Amino acid sequence: MLPPPITVLAWMPDMDQPPLTVSRMLTAWTFDPVMVIPVVVAAGLYLWGVRILRRRGDAWPPSRTAYWFFGLVLVFVATSSALGVYDRTLFVVPAIQHMLLQMIAPVGLAMGAPITLAMRTFPVEWRRVVLAVVHSGPVRFIGRPGVAFALFAITQFAFYYTPLYEASLRNVWLHDFSHVHFVLVGFLFYWALLGVDPVPHRPPFFFKFMLVLALAPMHILLGIPIMLMNDVLAEGFYLEVARSWGPTLLDDQSVGGGVLWGFGDVAAAALISAFVVQWYRSDERDARRTDRALDRQYGSGPTMPPWWLEPEQADRPTPPREA
């Protein structure tokens, strides 16, 4: 007698999901171990590192801890709340998931500076391993902001405009892998862009700012064509779901395309504002650094006024040099 076929890798469409109401948004939860366990482990390891620093009497900015847990909470909400329950029922739901996992949550994770925390708490041997990985050939390549941006952009277009999207709806492992991939690609981009942690490349600020500006047209090119499509992405799967409530398949997809466009632009605008502030603060730090250098060289007393503020000095003849 032949053994039964193995179906653990495949999902059957959800036929019996109730309508998505406000109540369901607040009360529907699912707990996928592939997503929940890494979040719990990442939270525990981070707190363990902060505790080690405090026991030594070293300071760790509370803002970094807040950023880290902000990112982890967003990953948990995106995959375990009602978004995780309905992410194979409505197109708009995985679109929201995608934006949270790749655009928003990785910002908090990168700002949490986990590599810096590891370098300050790991034993010396492990620190050398971390530095070796950061400065290895593959990481130096994908850690270039331009390369990280290319991966960040290509990932999104490849997911929606190839059979990958429908495959992720039908295969449990590919579904989970896509979520993990979004987080990792987003973290790589913001890690290389923000430079809070040790990075192999630190390009000019203007170049990084231009990459942030490029996020807006990228999401226009991603979302608007999906909004205007006359064909339904993964139509075969959604017809098997046979959802009897909510918008039509095309209307649902149109709203999801609008989410990919608008959500991306809002996130890009927030990043642009943050970069303007960072640039301004960078200029302030450079000015203070220059002032301290001048004080060390000439003393902290009144500085000699520049020649253009003393026009009468400019009219005086230059004294002849002594032979």
Q: Which tens digit of pLDDT belongs to each residue from 88-102?
A: 999 999 999 999 999
- Quote the pLDDT of residue 176: 92
CA distances to 148, 149, 188, 200 from 141, rounded to whole Å, are: 9, 12, 11, 9
- Quote the pLDDT of residue 2: 39
133 — alpha (psi -120 to 50), left (phi > 0) or beta?
alpha
- Please list, in sequence order, all residues whose beta carbon lies within 8 angstroms of the beta carbon of residue 29, skipping any fewer than 6 positions away: 80, 81, 82, 84, 85
The CB density around residue 1, as the number of other CB atoms within 10 Å, is 3
- Quote the pLDDT of residue 127: 85
| 215 SS3 class | helix
pTM of the model: 0.80
Look up tokens 């390009």; give the residue. 203
Question: Any idea what the Cα angle at residue 94 is, between residues 114 and 70, rounded to 5°?
Answer: 30
d(CA 66, CA 6): 43
- Quote the pLDDT of residue 210: 84
Secondary structure tally for the chain: helices H, strands E: 17, 0
- Quote the pLDDT of residue 249: 93
Residue numbers in the chain where pLDDT is lower than 50: 1-9, 307, 313-314, 323
